[in-house]
């Protein structure tokens, strides 16, 4: 896999051609030739965890292609591994798909087809294409061979059809212990493709299934269940990531040898019971998965972060699960923009996380109203305003879009400003507040720092400034030039808030690379979350959960969807206004 960053492609807009990647070209050709009259796709996640950013590409591709070509897309839960699956994950998957902006045609489960899978396995046995094997899992691996050495036939391979049928039906009846027998396809133990070396079809697992209870003591393997599910649903284009390319011959082998369209006795009972099914032969097409720098997408490792308490849960805003990204304030539009710009290819690569952040910034720039907030407060007192001075100023909610309207912002004699907007000994090029220096207060006028108040340890605790009344809006000096403009919040009216400053979870581009002698867990960024007490203008505190704002000069923030309340605001930083990591890397 290439570890080079991939440059973003131009966005597809109404003025440009529709996407013309190789998958869409295949779809167009199939429709033009009359191979299909409607396009049918599916998104088939396993309900053993929450979806992550890698799944977003599969969601956008499957649902997007179905939408573009006036077809439909099913959401199918691949629930063939009971014991590791949970209804909580099912609901989370459904919620995430809808959040990204898609709706499925049918909600299906692999378990809907368990009876069909069983009947199809009987057919394979009867046709001489499957047998019951007594090898243990370790023995099966030893017999399988390697990439350079062919496998060996199992001693059970030449059992008669009658014996195999008897044993398989007894497996179904629960007669045998877990792992004692396996149903395998009889293909070719010398094949150069290891997936074709008599793969397992069924294993014995006496585990309660969340949908079927204890009806089944045997469960189908993924490669077998997945392709037959596609065929039963009439899927025309089965879109998979590149790691399934070597599985495609097996996919086609199962589809061809079971031959569901020509064997209605395998599935007619479903239709008789009112279950919609139109069996057809699907085509598997592979595409490169979405890999991001500074990220992991291993479900096992994501689960480990949660189970070891290294994050606050699957929806922790540091996680690149869709629930975590949502809670952090990432937008569906920004995620779709990333997928659209990267396009679809057959070449694996790693995408610079900065491209993802820029897509979020671009989406939020147009959709997020502006507010003022201070996250590291320093008191500023305007000494030439009277005690108790109050007034109300009018600010636009969005500087580029008048349709957002305006808001009222209270202003008073005492303000909070950002501590970094003052420097007692300013560095070269510093254009904010300094002793005897001037700066423009956003929407107010020009103030001059006259006195710096310090505590007993020499720390700056307060600035005393004077406001030039001639520099206020509507006055003759309003256009007087000063180099710096800073934001503020009225100390009298500001609302205290918990501000959670989030950043990338890992501090190296490839956390899985342990060549430096460190494990992936040692690459966790200790500064990925900082919690501070800040101040908000009142209009920000009134936000509803998941309301997004640009806090002027600070970045994009979202009212936390779980903890935020108007009387106790909690905001998460979604992304800074600029890429701060590029500066660190320079």
Q: Is 405 exposed, middle or buried (0-12, 13-18, 19+ CB in 10 A)?
A: exposed
Q: Is 46 annotated as a binding residue?
A: yes
Exactly one of 197, 299, 326, 529 is catalytic; name it: 299
- Give the torsion sign (CA, 8, 13, 17, 22): positive
Catalytic residue check, 299? yes
Catalytic residue check, 548? no
Question: Are the C-beta atoms of 405 and 518 separated by less than 8 Å?
Answer: no
Q: Is 289 annotated as a binding residue?
A: yes
Exactly one of 28, 46, 67, 546 is catalytic; name it: 46
Q: Is 241 annotated as a binding residue?
A: yes
Alpha-helical segments (H) within 343-487: 353-367
Q: Is 57 annotated as a binding residue?
A: yes
Q: Is 481 annotated as a binding residue?
A: no
No. of helices (H) and no. of strands (E), the chain = 15, 25
Q: Is 56 annotated as a binding residue?
A: yes
244: Cα within 13 Å, side-chain hemisphere: 19
Question: Are the C-beta atoms of 494 and 473 separated by less than 8 Å?
Answer: no
Exactly one of 67, 289, 448, 480 is catalytic; name it: 289
**Rounded to an integer, what distance in angstroms lies between the CA atom of residue 241 and that of residue 58?**
8
Using DSSP's 3-state secondary structure scheme, residue 74 falls into strand
> Regarding beta strands 495-502 and 529-536, do their DSSP bridges make them parallel or antiparallel, or are they unpaired?
antiparallel
Catalytic residue check, 245? no
What is the DSSP code string of 17-34? PPP--HHHHHHHHHHHTT
Q: Is 290 annotated as a binding residue?
A: yes
Place of tokens 């009889």: 186
Category of 309 on φ-ψ map: left (φ > 0), alpha (ψ -120 to 50) or beta: left
Measured in whole angstroms, how far is the alpha carbon of residue 234 from the centre of its chain?
Answer: 28
**Rounded to an integer, what distance in angstroms lies between the CA atom of residue 453 and that of residue 462?**
5
* Cβ density class 18-29: b for 16+ within 10 Å, e for less: ebeeebbeebee
Q: Is 55 annotated as a binding residue?
A: yes
**Rounded to an integer, what distance in angstroms lies between the CA atom of residue 541 and that of residue 545?**
10
List Cα–Cα distances, 91 to 75, 77, 79, 330, 333, in angstroms.
Answer: 12, 11, 13, 20, 22
Give the residue among 257, 125, 120, 249 at the shortest CA–CA distance from 197.
249
Q: Is 58 annotated as a binding residue?
A: yes
Positions at the binding site: 46-48, 52-58, 78, 222, 241, 289-290
Residues in binding site for ATP: 46-48, 52-58, 241, 289-290
Q: Which residues are known catalytic residues?
A: 46, 289, 299
Binding-site sequence positions for L-glutamine: 78, 222
């Amino acid at each position: 896999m290439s570890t080079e960053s991939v440059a973003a492609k131009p966005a597809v807009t109404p003025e440009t051609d529709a996407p013309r990647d190789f998958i869409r070209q295949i779809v167009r050709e199939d429709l033009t030739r009359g191979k299909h009259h409607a396009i049918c796709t599916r998104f088939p996640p396993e309900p053993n965890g929450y979806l992550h950013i890698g799944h977003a590409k599969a969601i956008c591709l499957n649902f997007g292609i179905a939408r573009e070509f006036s077809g439909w897309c099913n959401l199918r839960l691949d629930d063939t591994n009971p014991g590791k699956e949970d209804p909580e994950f099912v609901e989370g998957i459904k919620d995430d798909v809808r959040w990204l902006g898609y709706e499925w045609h049918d909600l299906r489960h692999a378990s809907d087809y368990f009876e069909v899978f069983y009947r199809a396995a009987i057919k394979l046995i009867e046709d001489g294409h499957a047998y019951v094997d007594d090898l243990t899992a370790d023995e099966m691996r030893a017999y399988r061979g390697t990439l350079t050495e062919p496998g060996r036939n199992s001693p059970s391979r030449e059992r008669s059809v009658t014996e195999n049928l008897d044993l398989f039906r007894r497996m179904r009846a629960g007669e045998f212990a877990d792992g004692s027998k396996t149903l395998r396809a009889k293909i070719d133990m010398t094949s150069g493709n290891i997936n074709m070396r008599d793969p397992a079809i069924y294993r014995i697992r006496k585990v309660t299934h969340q949908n079927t209870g204890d009806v089944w003591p045997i469960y189908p393997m993924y490669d077998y269940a997945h392709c037959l599910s596609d065929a039963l649903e009439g899927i025309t284009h089965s879109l998979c990531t590149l790691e399934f390319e070597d599985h495609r011959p097996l996919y086609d082998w199962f589809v061809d040898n079971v031959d569901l369209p020509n064997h209605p006795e395998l599935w007619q009972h479903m239709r008789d019971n009112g279950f919609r099914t139109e069996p057809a032969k699907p085509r598997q097409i592979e595409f490169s998965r979405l890999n991001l720098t500074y990220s992991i997408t291993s479900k096992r490792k994501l689960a480990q972060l949660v189970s070891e308490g290294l994050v606050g849960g699957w929806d922790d805003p540091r996680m690149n699960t869709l629930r975590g990204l949502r809670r952090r304030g990432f937008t569906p539009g920004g995620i779709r923009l990333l997928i659209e710009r990267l396009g679809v290819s057959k070449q694996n690569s790693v995408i610079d996380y900065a491209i993802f952040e820029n897509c979020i910034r671009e989406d939020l720039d147009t959709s997020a109203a502006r507010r003022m907030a201070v996250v590291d407060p320093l008191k500023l007192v305007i000494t030439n305003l009277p005690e108790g001075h109050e007034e109300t100023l009018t600010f636009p909610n969005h500087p580029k879009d008048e349709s957002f309207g305006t808001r009222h912002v209270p202003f008073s004699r005492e303000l909070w400003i950002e501590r970094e907007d003052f420097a007692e000994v300013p560095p070269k090029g510093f254009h904010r507040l300094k002793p005897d220096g001037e700066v423009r207060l956003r929407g107010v006028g020009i103030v001059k720092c006259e006195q710096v108040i310090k505590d007993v340890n020499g720390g700056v605790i307060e600035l005393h400034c004077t406001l030039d009344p001639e520099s206020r809006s509507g006055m003759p000096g309003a256009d007087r030039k000063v180099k710096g403009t800073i934001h503020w919040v009225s100390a009298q009216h500001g609302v205290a808030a918990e501000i959670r400053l989030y950043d990338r979870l890992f501090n190296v581009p490839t956390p899985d690379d342990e060549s430096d002698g460190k494990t992936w867990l040692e690459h966790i960024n200790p500064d990925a979350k900082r919690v501070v007490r800040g101040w908000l203008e009142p209009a920000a505190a009134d936000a509803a959960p998941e309301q997004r704002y640009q806090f002027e000069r600070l970045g994009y923030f979202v009212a936390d969807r779980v903890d935020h309340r108007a009387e106790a605001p909690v905001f998460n930083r979604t992304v800074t206004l600029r890429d701060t990591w590029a500066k660190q890397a320079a």
